[in-house]
């Protein structure tokens, strides 16, 4: 029988799975788990697929070009012979050339006007492209700022509740200045991990927070530390919340995307007892 933590760990994989973003190892492991017939995960997946499939309903509906339906149905009728798909009609070069040949001679100012027109259109396209890029950059900056505000609000939200548990994390390397803290709200299991002076991780790695319970390491979540910030906060959800159930926390450096068990050396650690 699966423990609550194992179930939590599998359910955590459902969201990246439906978005097609599990790494091959985790995906294989998760699909093997599904083959064991876990009804809870199957139900979760079904609900998640259903939920994200609502997003296309926000778009304006538009029928595809009328020929497509017939093309698909023709393909079904002749499916066994597997003919190549009907190519989209392309302009017949011979026809174009013939019409050019037959055209009456043009005066030079007509050709000059056409060239001027083309140059004008090209300049206009460059101008529009530039404007669109600027708008896109501003939109990205705005999203960035909104994300930062939201993050701060989340952190404050956790720190402001009446009952918050705190655990200090000490570094395991005598030469390092790094330290950290975990703040968490036992009831809702929301947590904020703060790390200070941890070195920036390489591009293919990520720091990962673990919760220690009954001498086992339970996956909590991954976060990044970059060179620009020495003081990093990350919001996470714990598998269990009550202090008496938690023996401690640890932070390791893992392959990007996280691991199911710690594989790197422990960077920071703290024990509740």
Partner 1 sequence: MQQNALAQRQQCDREDADLLKRIQRSDQRALATLYDRYAPVFYPFALRITGSHEVAEEVVHDVFVQVWEKGNSYATQNGSVYAWLAALSRMKALEKVRTSNQKKKGSDGEALQPRAPLENEEKQGGQETILVFKGYAEEVRNMLKNLSKLELRLLELSYYEGQSQSDLARMLRIPLGTIKAKMRRGIQKLRQAPAQEGKRP
Q: Which of 198, 236, 250, 268 binds partner 1 (CB under 8 A)?
A: 236
Please list the residues that pair with 251 across neighbouring strands.
Answer: 209, 268
The pairing of strands 190-196 and 179-185 is antiparallel
Min separation Cβ 206 and partner 1, Å: 7
How far are the Cα atoms of 104, 111, 143, 225, 248 from residue 95, in angstroms, in the given order?
Answer: 16, 21, 51, 62, 78
Q: How many residues at the interface with partner 1, by CB under 8 A?
A: 65
For the chain, helix, strand, coil in percent to 5 are 45, 20, 35
Alpha helices, H only, 104-252: 108-160
Min separation Cβ 49 and partner 1, Å: 4
Q: Which of 123, 148, 168, 231 binds partner 1 (CB under 8 A)?
A: 148
Min separation Cβ 247 and partner 1, Å: 21
How far are the Cα atoms of 84, 90, 257 from residue 75, in angstroms, in the given order?
Answer: 9, 20, 41
Binding mask 71-90 for partner 1 (x = CB under 8 A): xxx-xxx-x-----x--x--
The pairing of strands 248-255 and 266-271 is antiparallel
Q: In the complex with partner 1, which residue's Cβ is closer, 171 or 206?
A: 206
Interface positions, 30-59, toward partner 1 (CB under 8 A) = 34, 42-43, 45-59
Q: Which of 183, 184, 210, 233 binds partner 1 (CB under 8 A)?
A: 233
Contact between 166 and 181 under an 8 Å Cβ cutoff? The reply is yes
Q: In the complex with partner 1, which residue's Cβ is closer, 103 or 203?
A: 203
Q: In the complex with partner 1, which residue's Cβ is closer, 20 or 104?
A: 20
Q: In the complex with partner 1, which residue's Cβ is closer, 71 or 100?
A: 71
Q: In the complex with partner 1, which residue's Cβ is closer, 5 or 12?
A: 12
Q: In the complex with partner 1, which residue's Cβ is closer, 58 or 103?
A: 58
Q: In the complex with partner 1, which residue's Cβ is closer, 31 or 97?
A: 31
- Interior angle at CA 227, CA 222 and CA 185, nearest 5: 35
Q: What are the structure tokens assigned to 260, written together?
A: 């199911």
Could you identify the residue written with the tokens 């100012």? 109
Helix (H) or strand (E) holding 221: strand 216-223
Interface positions, 151-210, toward partner 1 (CB under 8 A) = 151, 154, 193, 206
Q: Which of 184, 201, 211, 222 binds partner 1 (CB under 8 A)?
A: 222
CA 212, CA 109: separation in Å to the nearest integer?
82
Q: 3-class DSSP state for residue 213?
A: strand
Residues that bind partner 1 (CB under 8 A): 15-16, 18-21, 34, 42-43, 45-65, 68-69, 71-73, 75-77, 79, 85, 88, 136, 143-144, 146-148, 150-151, 154, 193, 206, 221-224, 226, 232-237, 256-257
């Amino acid at each position: 029988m699966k423990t609550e933590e194992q179930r939590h760990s599998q359910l955590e994989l459902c969201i990246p799975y439906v978005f097609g973003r599990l790494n091959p190892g985790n995906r294989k492991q998760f699909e093997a788990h599904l083959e064991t017939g876990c009804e809870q995960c199957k139900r979760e997946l079904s609900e998640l697929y259903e939920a994200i499939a609502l997003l296309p309903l926000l778009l304006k509906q538009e029928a595809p070009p009328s020929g497509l339906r017939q093309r698909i149905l023709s393909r079904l009728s002749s499916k066994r012979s597997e003919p190549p798909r009907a190519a989209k009609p392309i302009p017949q070069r011979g026809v174009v050339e013939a019409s050019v040949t037959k055209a009456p001679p043009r005066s030079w100012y007509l050709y000059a006007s056409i060239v001027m027109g083309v140059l004008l259109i090209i300049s206009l396209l460059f101008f529009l492209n530039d404007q669109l890029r600027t708008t896109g950059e501003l939109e990205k900056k705005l999203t960035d700022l909104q994300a930062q505000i939201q993050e701060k609000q989340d952190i404050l939200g956790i720190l402001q509740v009446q009952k918050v548990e705190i655990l200090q994390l000490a570094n395991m390397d005598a030469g390092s200045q790094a330290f950290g803290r975990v703040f968490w709200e036992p009831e809702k299991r929301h947590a904020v991990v703060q790390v200070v002076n941890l070195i920036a991780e390489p591009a293919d790695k990520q720091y990962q927070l673990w919760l220690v319970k009954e001498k086992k390491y339970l996956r909590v979540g991954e976060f990044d530390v970059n060179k620009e910030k020495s003081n990093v906060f990350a919001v996470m959800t714990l598998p269990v919340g009550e202090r008496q159930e938690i023996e401690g926390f640890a932070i390791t450096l893992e392959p990007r995307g996280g691991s199911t068990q710690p594989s790197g050396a422990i960077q920071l650690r703290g024990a509740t007892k």
